[in-house]
Amino acid sequence: MTNDTKNSANTMWGGRFAAGPDAIMEAINASIGFDKRMARQDITGSRAHASMLAAQGIITDKDAEAIREGLLTVLSEIETGTFVYSTALEDIHMNVEARLKEIIGEPAGRLHTARSRNDQVATDFRLWVRDQVDAAIEGLDALIRAFLDQAEAGADWVMPGFTHLQTAQPVTWGHHMMAYVEMFARDKSRFQDARVRMNESPLGAAALAGTGFPTDRHMTAEALGFDRPMANSLDAVSDRDHALEFLSNATICALHLSRFSEELVIWSSAQFRFVTLSDRFSTGSSIMPQKKNPDAAELIRAKIGRIMGSMVALFTIMKGLPLAYSKDMQEDKEQFFDAADNLMLSLAAMTGMVSDLTANKDALAAAASSGFSTATDLADWLVRELGLPFRDAHHVTGALVGMAEKQGCDLPDLSLDDMQSVHADITEGVYDVLTVDASVASRMSYGGTAPVRVREQIAAWRERLG
């Protein structure tokens, strides 16, 4: 470290310290390697702060204008890649302020009036998180629309519905796709709810106790798009709930992404052949030329490990911190940045996969009738037509399934004599309910798999999304 760098760092710290940090302390203390991602938010917040200081007569209009213009020059250098970052200056805030001083001189020193790095970083980070929330909402909206397109294309295509990954009852492709519309819509609503809570400004809370200067925190809050300033200065500088809530929401969303990824991996296998993934989201094998691997789905399936890990890490960091600010909070950003990056990448990749996905209608239909999938329809017919208690109907149906297994056939292939040997009152009418198409068409209850219900839900979601 040069003497100039030491002196620059000491100037930022003030007269309390006679010497700069050694290399190890500098390495553990510096955050510029990752918090430089908040440069735009930092400069936006500083410009709003300078305008407020001038409006309140705390600094002159001339100094405020010099600061605002100088900050735009700094931002331009950062965006064009000519800005030189210094680890000796620790973080993005000091790097920006030091460069501002080089550009405009003495007025730069007035920018930090009535604020602290504590409320500055809290503001920058909150702005950055808010931007990520908006991006997540936009990404989820695109994903939901992709699932709606799939649902609409196959609203009446029959496929097996599973429990325990065993054939349970026939459903429609559209119904299955709409299940994910509901899941990702909840994810979207969680981010929207979180945005409302986080949209309060920490700026002006200063170090922890507020300031004696006649500031106008409502002015800076409005300038930065916040609904209001945070009401307690201690809470303002020490709160990271917005980041915790984002990571919690991101983890649930990643869970949903992982679940569908798992289905894509299974469905695209040679054993299922339910779907074909596009070449854009598949890879081959280095030695097996026939292979088409669902790598994008597998990678998305794995992302929840990183995202949930980041959530656990930040919860652990925050759990034992007394009020107000502690340096531990510097560890919030790397975890958050990684989780946010991986969530946005996963959303984009999944949207692409769903948009390109081709469902194999014939394979779905063939599988839908396997595994005695209409057994419940038979039991329901016995209740409805013969007046049997459901438990008795369940027993009769089980006996017929056992008979079909022994004969190596499905339920519709049993003769009427076979059926009447189990229950004498069964009539020819039973065969009307033993097809998969009849089964799905009969599920007319709200939220059911009947194609008419699926199309109603698709239309409702199209209207809701606009």
CA distance 328 to 289: 51
Handedness of CA 390, 375, 164, 359 (dihedral sign): negative
Nearest C-alpha neighbor of 197 from the set 164, 155, 228: 228
Alpha carbon of 274 to those of 293, 314, 456: distances in Å?
15, 40, 25
Residue type, 295: D
Q: H or E segment at 167?
A: strand 166-172
Q: H or E segment at 162?
A: strand 158-163
Peptide bond into 324 cis (omega under 30): yes
DSSP, collapsed to helix, strand or coil, labels residue 287 as coil
Alpha carbon of 91 to those of 42, 143, 257: distances in Å?
11, 36, 35
**∠ Cα 277 281 283 (to 5°):** 95
Handedness of CA 430, 434, 438, 441 (dihedral sign): positive
DSSP, collapsed to helix, strand or coil, labels residue 224 as coil
| Both tokens assigned to 313 | 């890490």
> What is the chain's Cα-based Rg?
31
Tell me if residue 164 is catalytic: yes
Residue owning tokens 């009427």: 416
Residue owning tokens 């009738």: 369
Alpha carbon of 37 to those of 224, 338, 343: distances in Å?
18, 12, 17
Residue type, 275: V
Alpha carbon of 222 to those of 133, 225, 232, 251, 326: distances in Å?
19, 5, 17, 31, 28
51, 230 contact by CB (below 8 A): no
Q: How many CA atoms lie within 13 A of 413 on its CB side?
A: 12
Residue count of the chain, please give it.
466
The catalytic residue among 76, 189, 269, 285 is: 285
Residue type, 73: T
Residues classed as catalytic: 164, 285
